Amino acid sequence: MVAGSRFQTKLWNIARFVLMQAGDAGSLTADSVTVLTDRWLMCRLSATVAEVTEAMEAYQFDRAIRAIREFSRDVFADNYIELVKGRLYEDEGSARDSALYTLRTALATICRMFAPITPFFSEECYSYLGAGSVHAAGWPDLSFADAYADRNGALLAEVVSEVRRFKHDNKIALNAPPWLGLRLRRSGD
């Protein structure tokens, strides 16, 4: 119960962030996805949809929940959202549109996969997208394949994760420039 509650709180925070950024991005299309990190997330989302679909069809609900949770928390929130925040706050144009479409698509897809498990929660999150009821939307059918983006996006996420870990271990603010840690470390030698 506690783990489920924490996960729903995490999803609610993800939904609020996405809706603040991409709430009005409904007119964008899949052709908007041009940036490596966005293509990487779409690959991971597509793989998650396939895994959750397979698990649900085999009545392996625990496996489906685990796949949704791992994607939502580990990939979407901890990696992707952290990677695109700079683009969302600073950029204008196609790079920002790529991130907005990806954010909105990921949230909608998570809600649609999670609807059979948490119907009221999924309906509430999905309703803010202005796309009607999540229960009328049907099961997601997403097929996005890009081997280059899948491989290199994962590498990029790993590098960013290591930078965050380094900053945390050395008590450097996470929003400090990455080079600051190197300068501080050298001055202490």
For residue 164, give both structure tokens. Answer: 């965050």
Using an 8 Å Cβ cutoff, are 101 and 30 in contact?
yes
Per-residue model confidence as pLDDT tens digits over 52-84: 999 999 999 999 999 999 999 989 998 898 888
Strands (E), the chain: none
* Domains in the chain, CATH or no CATH each: 2-147 (1.10.730.10)
Q: At a CB cut-off of 8 Å and minimum separation 6, what does 118 contact?
A: 8
Q: What percent of the chain has pLDDT over 70?
A: 89
Kindly calculate the radius of gyration of the chain based on its CA atoms and give it in whole angstroms.
18
Per-residue model confidence as pLDDT tens digits over 132-157: 899 999 899 988 888 888 888 888 88
Burial of 123 (0-12, 13-18, 19+ CB in 10 A): middle
Query: Residue 68 has what pLDDT?
Result: 95
Per-residue model confidence as pLDDT tens digits over 93-129: 788 888 899 999 999 999 999 999 999 999 999 998 8
